[in-house]
Chains A and B, each alone.
Chain A
Amino acid sequence: MPPARTFSLFVVLFGAWLLLSGHWDPFLLGCGAVSAALVAALARRMGAIDGEGHPIQLAWRFPAYLPWLVWRIALANLAVVRAILSPVAALDPAAGWVDANQKTTAGLVAFANSITLTPGTVSLTALPGRIHVHALARGELEELKEGEMNGRVCAMEGRR
């Protein structure tokens, strides 16, 4: 629980206050600073601030991962729309385990959420090292097993 992480939580909370309120007079700015500091202090006291509770370490490399994820989501949307509009008999759903090589819980959650966020694949169970995935088409499950998304999330996690 390093103080730097508590401070970064404070900055994020105060930033959210500024963007959502849109008022800039000293009284409301003061209220925002006090609220953000109080929440950061409470979270620190709860022991909730670590690489899992406030995974700011993923934020640096996230912009490099985002465009690829958005592109995959767009492609997957088209595939699922086609599957919905085609006859039900043509469906070939499949379930299986996919390797997850992330070293931290935050990285594993990022990978499982990326899988679920991509239409056509849903993570059913996430365990360290492997994720149980249900796919609307067998090909999408095979593609996940090849591990490109796994590798990209690992790259976002960084080498430590």
Chain B
Amino acid sequence: MSAALDIASWVLLVGGALLMTIGALGLIRLPDFFTRLHAAGVVDTGGAGLLLLGMALQTGFDLVTVKLVLIGLVLALTAPTASHAVAHSALLGGLSPDDPSANRAGDGRDEAPD
């Protein structure tokens, strides 16, 4: 394994893991449900993509690499679908993207125990 590949995968792995941490931070910091959806997008695309790329550089470019590509493909197909499903359910469940203050409370169906 050449040194250049090692350095590149270091950068990609740490960058991807940092993006995941920032995405998780966004999940905590952003003020309402609809803005938090975008933090999830960073984890699903940037974080996962960079980590998988960094791992792919450490393989011998064989079937293991193909499996990493397949994981990336599955994530790229399912992650936006799951995000859309959560967002659409929230819209049907009464959360409003135009009125952020309404999204901070419970939705009336069940009261949060905290």
Contact = CB atoms under 8 A, between A and B. Distances in A.
A46 interface: no
A125 interface: yes
A116 B46 contact: no
A116 B41 contact: yes
Interface in A112-133: 112-114, 116-126, 132
Contact of A80 (B31, B38, B91): B38
B39 interface: yes
Contacts, number: 103
B42 interface: yes
Nearest to B26: A84
Contacts of A76: 41
Nearest to B47: A77
B16 to A, nearest CB: 11
A136 B29 contact: no
A92 B38 CA distance: 13
Contacts of B52: none
Nearest to B33: A134
Interface residues of B, number: 36
B42 A81 contact: yes
B39 A84 contact: yes
Contact of A84 (B29, B66, B83, B88): B29
B38 A136 contact: yes
Contact of A73 (B25, B46, B97): B46
Best-surrounded residue of B19, B38, B49, B91 (most CB of chain A within 10 A) = B38
B70 A19 contact: yes
Contacts of B81: 113, 116
Given A88-B30, A91-B30, A117 B41 contact: yes
Given A20-B67, A84-B25, A122-B87, 5 more contacts: A84-B26, A93-B100, A124-B91, A124-B97, A136-B35
Interface of A: 16, 19-20, 22, 73-74, 76-77, 80-81, 83-85, 88, 91, 93, 95, 112-114, 116-126, 132, 134, 136
7 interchain residue pairs of minimum CB distance: A119-B41, A116-B80, A84-B26, A77-B46, A95-B97, A113-B80, A136-B38
